[in-house]
Amino acid sequence: MEKDSIRNMADVRKLLKNFSFMVYTGDRLGDLELMEEELSDLRQSGLLEQKAFLQARMVIQQEKQREGLHTENCDS
Per-residue pLDDT tens for 16-72?
Answer: 999 999 999 999 999 999 999 999 999 999 999 999 999 999 999 999 999 886 555
3-66: CATH topology is Helix Hairpins (1.10.287)
Q: How confident is the model at residue 3 (pLDDT cuts 50, 70, 90)?
A: very low
Domain boundaries, the chain: 3-66
DSSP 23: -
What is the maximum alpha-carbon separation in the chain?
40
Q: Is the dihedral of CA 9, 41, 52, 65 positive or negative?
A: positive
- Going by C-alpha positions, the residue among 2, 1, 8 that lies closest to residue 56 is 8
Question: Chain centroid to CA 43: how far?
Answer: 12
